[in-house]
Chain A
Amino acid sequence: MSEKSTGVVNSGLKPEAKKGSDSALQVMNGEHHPHQCWSCGDMRAEHFCGACGHVQPAEPTDFFSFFGLPRKLELDEAALERGFYALSRKLHPDVYSRASAKEQAWSLEKTSQLNDAYRTLKDPISRTEYLLMLEGIQLDEQSKKATEKARASGAEKKQSVPPELLEEAFELNMMLEEAKMGGVDKDLRAQLTATREDLTARLNTMQDELRGAWKRWDSGDSGATARMVDVLNRRSYLCNLVRDIDEVLS
């Protein structure tokens, strides 16, 4: 009886899932991997069965696949948001209050996947980092390997960012440390404010650089990942400096 009743509950939502005009639902059903529904045997099941509407087993999946998205970086963030809310509603525990235990468990697990996937993909930086991770690019692992190579060969390890940027970060940190101890007078405040503006402008430029690399990646240029790594590396220093300046100025 309980399984029958969920069928009724879910089938009420079925027509919505079939509406192709809503881009939010295209996000949900874009690049899909249909499988056989555990309940009715229909072959078109995704998060939900296209025929009977039952929720399907939660399976480990990457966040792009979860939303039915190709592994691309330029994405329609508004559509992603609509897809997130649409799926949130359909997976809401209240909908499954009278469903079978396994369906309750799947809907809960899918809700948790949904939240992680949305949080990761909606932010351009975390989306980029996540894609690099999926592509097997682990920044700290790379750095460790390069150090081991330098140790074995005696050659110098190339730092992942230009030496001028390290100098700049070091000098500014020295200045901020003095400011923390000695206080911030009017001149120093003006100087730090100007530096902050400069850093912010450079961060904006990096955003453009990153988008350029996204375009290359999305059009099939796998070499674009090196560019993304480069931008993200430089970006992390500038972000820290802005944060540290704000701490001193506040």
Chain B
Amino acid sequence: MAYSDKVLDHYTNPRNVGTMDKNANEVGTGLVGAPECGDVMKLQIRINAETKVIEDAKFKTFGCGSAIASSSLATEWVKGKTVDEALAIKNTDIVKELSLPPVKIHCSVLAEDAIRAAISDWKKKNS
């Protein structure tokens, strides 16, 4: 199966790879997995407590090209968005943007899960 150009681009040149201090109050961490393939994805966001804007995002994914591309794209998309805007990102948006085939839809689900998990971690810390 051939990867789309956008997947290849994110895969060979992933954006925002890295980690943040998961104990920091302004950082939310989402660690999620896809049992279908055993992929694991960690996505972290730094949120401005005043504006609720996601100022930075980092990810580290162990998995296939589509999983890496999905999380790379997710970090690009959430940066600059408010928490509520980020929560509106759907896995189907990622599927469309990356032209993922049906067998790789779970990679996009994983990325959406990671965004939600990171935000919910941040909310828990700051409630």
Interface centre among B31, B33, B42, B91 (most CB of A within 10 A): B33
Task: Assess whether A147 is interfacial by the CB under 8 Å rule.
Answer: yes
The distance in angstroms between the C-alpha atoms of A144 and B87, with both chains bound, is 16
Task: Assess whether A159 is interfacial by the CB under 8 Å rule.
Answer: yes
Q: How many residues of A contact B (CB 8 A)?
A: 30
Given the contacts A161-B33, A166-B33, A170-B31, A236 and B38 also touching, CB distance less than 8 Å: yes
Instruction: Check A236–B35 contact: CB distance below 8 A.
Output: yes
B-contact bits for A224-240, CB 8 A (1 contact / 0 none): 00000000111011011
Chain B binding surface SS class: mixed
The distance in angstroms between the C-alpha atoms of A50 and B72, with both chains bound, is 62
Interface centre among B40, B90, B106 (most CB of A within 10 A): B40
Residue of A nearest to B31 (CB): A166
Which of B4-12, B46-54, B112-120 is the interface stretch? B112-120
The distance in angstroms between the C-alpha atoms of A234 and B60, with both chains bound, is 21
How many residue pairs, one in A and one in B, have C-beta atoms under 8 Å apart?
Answer: 77
Instruction: Check A150–B35 contact: CB distance below 8 A.
Output: no
Q: How far is the CB of B7 from chain A (nearest CB, A)?
A: 18
The distance in angstroms between the C-alpha atoms of A239 and B39, with both chains bound, is 12
Q: How far is the CB of A230 from chain B (nearest CB, A)?
A: 10
Q: How far is the CB of A232 from chain B (nearest CB, A)?
A: 7
Task: Assess whether B32 is interfacial by the CB under 8 Å rule.
Answer: yes
Q: How many residues of B contact A (CB 8 A)?
A: 23
Instruction: Check A144–B33 contact: CB distance below 8 A.
Output: no
Hey, which chain A residues are within 8 Å of B36, CB to CB? 139-140, 143, 236
The distance in angstroms between the C-alpha atoms of A27 and B35, with both chains bound, is 33
Instruction: Check B90–A151 contact: CB distance below 8 A.
Output: yes
Hey, which chain A residues are within 8 Å of B33, CB to CB? 159-161, 165-166, 169, 237
CB < 8 Å neighbour of A166 from B32, B90, B91, B106: B32
Instruction: Check B91–A170 contact: CB distance below 8 A.
Output: no
Instruction: Check B62–A147 contact: CB distance below 8 A.
Output: no
Hey, which chain B residues are within 8 Å of A239, CB to CB? 38
Task: Assess whether A156 is interfacial by the CB under 8 Å rule.
Answer: yes
Task: Assess whether B2 is interfacial by the CB under 8 Å rule.
Answer: no
Instruction: Check B31–A167 contact: CB distance below 8 A.
Output: yes
Task: Assess whether B20 is interfacial by the CB under 8 Å rule.
Answer: no
Task: Assess whether A223 is interfacial by the CB under 8 Å rule.
Answer: no
Given the contacts A140-B106, A144-B91, A147-B91, A233 and B35 also touching, CB distance less than 8 Å: yes
Task: Assess whether A200 is interfacial by the CB under 8 Å rule.
Answer: no
Instruction: Check B35–A232 contact: CB distance below 8 A.
Output: yes
Hey, which chain A residues are within 8 Å of B35, CB to CB? 139, 143, 160-161, 232-234, 236-237
Hey, which chain A residues are within 8 Å of B32, CB to CB? 159, 166
Given the contacts A157-B113, A166-B32, A237 and B38 also touching, CB distance less than 8 Å: yes
Instruction: Check A143–B62 contact: CB distance below 8 A.
Output: no
A and B contact pairs by CB, cutoff 8 A, 26 listed: A140-B36, A140-B105, A140-B106, A143-B35, A143-B36, A143-B109, A144-B91, A144-B105, A147-B91, A147-B109, A147-B112, A154-B87, A156-B120, A157-B116, A159-B33, A161-B35, A165-B33, A166-B31, A166-B32, A166-B40, A167-B31, A170-B31, A173-B40, A177-B62, A234-B35, A236-B36
